Amino acid sequence: MNIRKSMLFLLSMMLVVACGDAKKESRTENLSNSSNQAKKTNIVLLLADDMGYGELGVYGQEVMKTPFLDDLASKGMRFTDFYAGTAVCSPSRAVLMTGLHTGHVTIRGNKGSINGKWDRVPLKKSEIIIPEMLKKAGYQSAMIGKWHLGVPEDKSTWAKGRGFDYAVQEQWGEDIHGNEIDERIHWVNNDQDSILYEYDKYKCLDEFRTNFALEFLENKDKEKPFFLYMSYRTPHANEYEVRKNDLYKNEGFPEYDRLYASRVTMLDEQIERLFKTLDKRGELDNTIVIFTSDNGPWSGSHRFKKHLKHSHEFFKSSGGLKGYKRDLYEGGIREPMIVYWKGKIEGGSTSNHPSTFYDVMPTLAEIAGIEAPKQTDGISFLPELLKKEQKKHKHLYWEIQEGKSVNGFKQGARMGKWKAVRIADSYKTELYDLEKDLYETSDLSSQYPGIVEKMNGILKNESVKNEHYPFSGGVFKE
């Protein structure tokens, strides 16, 4: 009897110890999970607006000063063959956010056919975007600046309605009452607050916007990783010109060109300001920073002040490449990209890996340790950043619909060294050898009909018909 009691006592004690160990193991596992979440890499995505391939010193700019970004390239990786989503703002940004190229994404031009008129087209709710993807990995996210992927009358299409926890964006067009919206108003979390940008109080618009980014960094949840999407306005032409901060007034440039250059240099200063804040907060050691632009450089007259004109050739903004904004030649879509990641990326390294906006989503997914949405057309370039074996695209694809007519529909593709450009109303595919002719001066289509046939196959197959864009699917003579 005593032996039986002793055995029961021993068994009960073993159970108590086992339960204690299990609880301890559970606590350890929870701590480990918490620790793993804390170690997830923060992501800062910096997007310039209409910045050309040649507008940074590290990409050959000789007049406009960008000392911080040049220095950042010396500490990170500079890409030579990186491409925007397409050659104008809205569809290019749609590609960036969804990981879908312009033959598949909903938005393919700044405007399209919708509700019986030619107007802005929003992203579909079924198109998963980066902050929605990262939320699954425990990220908190913020978007500050230019959104351009929704419509003013439907706030569910604004950034706050698409997965961002904190959003400060401009808006333009007409509200639900048909009233014109003041572009200077910045909407905080849709309609939680609205703040007017008073340009006399700031060095530039991007200083005003950077203030919101610093506020987000100060107030965010310190236990969670973060994704910050800074969508700047520089060097895009707008009516809020920098007049009291004319940094190039002694250079003898025309007025608008001086102001253009000043904005570029002041953008560089604001990025440095954000970077130093991250460093001071001790967050830079665990943060990847990506800088690029949405399309090639702007050229033309100011939309409200027609006497103010600027040519993309004045500062060699395209870096000698053919074309500029709205062109699918290299000057319209090839962009600077600098990636900094302390302790991960070899400083001063250069990559000629051909990559594009729709590669950003799968890259960030891999960094966050999650699967990218199945919708994406992209390939992660994380291996390239880490100097590992990198998978390559068979081809890259772009299209754009500018205006209602057929001549506003353009397509482009790159397959290895070959680049094809097709302007719909010409019914002709131009062909260039980028290895020998980076500046696209010699159309080789008549010499390589077999390559042209392959390229035409890409142009036909990659463009899916879209109800908002009448020439989607391609324009070919049978």
* Rounded average pLDDT over 152-170: 95
Listed in order, the ranges of the chain carrying CATH 3.40.720.10 are 40-394
* Rounded average pLDDT over 182-207: 89
Structure tokens at 463: 């463009």
CA dist., res. 201 & res. 203, Å (int): 7
* Rounded average pLDDT over 297-306: 80
Residue 469 has what pLDDT? 97
Residue 8 has what pLDDT? 44
Residue 69 has what pLDDT? 98
Strand 42-49 with 226-235, pairing = parallel
DSSP 134: H
Under DSSP, is residue 49 helix (H, G, I), strand (E, B) or coil?
strand
Tell me the CA distances in angstroms from 438 to 334, 347, 369, one per residue in order. 11, 26, 37
What confidence tens digit (pLDDT) does each residue in 208-221 have?
Answer: 999 999 999 999 99
CATH 3.40.710.10 fits 397-462, yes or no: no
**What's the topology of domain 40-394?**
Alkaline Phosphatase, subunit A (3.40.720)
* Rounded average pLDDT over 43-54: 98
Structure tokens at 407: 């001549």
| Residue 374 parent element (H or E) | none
Listed in order, the ranges of the chain carrying CATH 3.30.1120.10 are 397-462
Residue 425 has what pLDDT? 79
**Percent of the chain whose pLDDT exceeds 90:** 78
Strand 396-401 with 355-356, pairing = unpaired
Residue 5: pLDDT over 60: no
pLDDT class of 240 with cuts at 50, 70, 90: low
CA dist., res. 370 & res. 135, Å (int): 10
What confidence tens digit (pLDDT) does each residue in 416-439 have?
Answer: 999 999 998 788 999 999 999 999
Residue 6: pLDDT over 50: no
Instruction: Please state whether the peptide bond connecting residue 336 to the residue before it is cis, i.e. omega within 30 degrees of 0.
Output: no
Which one is predicted more confidently, 246 or 80? 80
Under DSSP, is residue 398 helix (H, G, I), strand (E, B) or coil?
strand
pTM: 0.91
